[in-house]
């Protein structure tokens, strides 16, 4: 359900934040798991960068990430922007001509490279033209050893980063020696972060929502997606046969069901189904509230002839709590759920007609009658808010009692 990562800050000589080292973790215990470095790097990329973005985890600062030989040689780091990433080469990486060529290539692409836990071994000297940072564990060597090494590399324009700095005295001495970046318990211990992971089914549902919410719906593509999923096909037929569309005859053809429903209702069905599957179960109160909001906003829009985009108000209400469901910031959710700009503005900023309706239903839910009345008055509605809300609750109750 969750992906875990720790980040430890890196500071400059003025104790200003310079960046973060990102450290893979497998749980809230904040310890490194018993897995190899390739797997750790891959999981950092897939569970964090592809989900929320390394840039966001590092709060816009540089992200220092460990890469093993295999990930470097196969150019995995290129999935992350060079302006925000420092590629750390582990001290345990075996030196090879392939590794040297990979470093040359990455350097040429604009990536900053660092040698992590550098042990002063001259075999690494051939990498220095492509290295920007040297990370030195100051607990592993005494100051004399470090000073001699620094004399040997003084002609290389390399930034020295002291790791495991634990006392203020160490910090001051290392500054005098020429270190300009610092990391360790003197400043901060690694900070645990976790992110909700989406399973493959949820990701497919988000893609389906995006397709259904497009201005021009590709019915052939939607039909193919639904036909491949027996459960979706069944639920679509149940949904329409429990609605007014079926009238006196039952519909047993998926294509006929889509024709009967029409574009707007089909899009609503897909959005409803997808949202329900993102929840924790059929009694998830967040789903119930989302459905009530969707119906309430949709009916208000119809009563006030806001018909430029008949789906906008419905989808705004429906997805107004999707950030709670996925336990992600709304802005982050919308990077994976590319709804039309008007709906995004309504969800993020409460702007536009749909944003106005969302503010109204939120005020009504809080029992802020004065604000709700002031927001409803310009709409010149002919129905009472209480009546509209009651109808939305009944519609939701009926919908949840009929699988769809």
Please give the residue that has the higher pLDDT: either 100 or 6.
100
Question: What's the CA gap between 111 and 104, in Å, rounded?
Answer: 10
Judgement on whether residues 225 and 173 belong to the same structural domain of the protein:
no
Tell which of 173, 195, 217 closes a domain. Answer: 195
Please give the residue that has the higher pLDDT: either 191 or 360.
360
The CATH number covering residue 173 comes to 3.20.20.450
Tell which of 195, 210, 239 closes a domain. Answer: 195
Judgement on whether residues 11 and 50 belong to the same structural domain of the protein:
yes
Q: How many Cβ atoms sit within 10 Å of the Cβ of residue 166?
A: 13
β-pair partners for 179? none
Q: Which two tokens stand for residue 316?
A: 């705004």
| CA dihedral for 354, 358, 359, 361, sign (positive or negative) | positive
Q: How many domains does the chain have?
A: 2
pTM equals: 0.50
Judgement on whether residues 151 and 219 belong to the same structural domain of the protein:
no
Judgement on whether residues 217 and 151 belong to the same structural domain of the protein:
no
The CATH number covering residue 258 comes to 1.10.3210.10
From 331, 317, 319, select the one nearest 389 (Cα to Cα): 317
Q: pLDDT above 70 covers what percent of the chain?
A: 65
Q: Which two tokens stand for residue 198?
A: 């989406």
- Chain segment 25-69, per-residue pLDDT in tens: 444 443 434 434 444 444 444 443 333 456 666 777 888 988 777
Judgement on whether residues 236 and 309 belong to the same structural domain of the protein:
yes
Judgement on whether residues 209 and 150 belong to the same structural domain of the protein:
no
Judgement on whether residues 67 and 101 belong to the same structural domain of the protein:
yes
Q: How many Cβ atoms sit within 10 Å of the Cβ of residue 151?
A: 8
Tell which of 195, 225, 251 closes a domain. Answer: 195
- Chain segment 225-245, per-residue pLDDT in tens: 666 666 667 666 666 665 555
């Amino acid at each position: 359900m969750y992906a875990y990562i720790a980040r430890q800050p890196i500071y400059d000589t003025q104790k200003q934040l310079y960046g973060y080292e990102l450290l893979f973790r497998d749980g809230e215990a904040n310890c490194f798991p018993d897995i190899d470095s390739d797997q750790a790097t891959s999981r950092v990329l897939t569970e964090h960068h592809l989900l929320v973005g390394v840039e966001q985890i590092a709060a816009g600062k540089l992200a220092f990430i460990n890469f093993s030989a295999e990930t470097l040689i196969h150019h995995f780091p290129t999935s992350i922007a060079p302006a925000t990433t420092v590629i750390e080469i582990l001290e345990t990486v075996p030196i090879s001509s392939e590794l040297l060529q990979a470093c040359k290539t990455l350097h040429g692409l604009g990536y900053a490279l660092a040698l992590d836990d550098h042990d002063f071994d001259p075999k690494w000297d051939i990498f220095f033209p492509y290295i920007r940072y040297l990370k030195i564990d100051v607990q592993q060597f005494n100051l004399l050893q470090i000073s001699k090494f620094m004399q040997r590399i003084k002609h290389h324009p390399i930034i020295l980063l002291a790791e495991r700095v634990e006392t203020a005295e160490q910090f001051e001495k290392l500054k005098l020696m020429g270190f300009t970046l610092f990391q360790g318990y003197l400043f901060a211990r690694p900070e645990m972060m976790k992110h909700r992971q989406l399973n493959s089914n949820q990701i497919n549902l988000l893609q389906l929502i995006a397709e259904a919410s497009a201005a021009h719906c590709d019915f052939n593509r939607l039909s193919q997606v639904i036909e491949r999923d027996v459960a979706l096909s069944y639920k679509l037929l149940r949904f329409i046969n429990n609605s007014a569309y079926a009238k006196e005859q039952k519909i047993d053809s998926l294509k006929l069901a889509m024709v009967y429903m029409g574009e707007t209702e089909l899009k609503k069905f897909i959005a409803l189904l997808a949202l329900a599957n993102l929840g924790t179960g059929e009694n998830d109160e967040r789903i119930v509230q989302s459905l009530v909001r969707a119906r309430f906003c949709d009916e208000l829009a119809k009563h006030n002839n806001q018909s430029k985009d008949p789906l906008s108000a419905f989808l705004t209400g429906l997805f107004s709590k999707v950030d709670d469901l996925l336990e992600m910031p709304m802005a982050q959710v919308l990077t994976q759920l590319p709804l039309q700009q008007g709906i995004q503005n309504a969800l993020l900023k409460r702007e536009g007609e749909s944003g106005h309706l969302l503010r109204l239903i939120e005020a009504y839910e809080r029992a802020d009658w004065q604000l709700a009345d002031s927001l409803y008055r310009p709409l010149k509605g002919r129905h009472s808010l209480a009546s509209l809300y009651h109808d939305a609750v009944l519609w939701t109750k009926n919908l949840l009692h009929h699988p769809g």
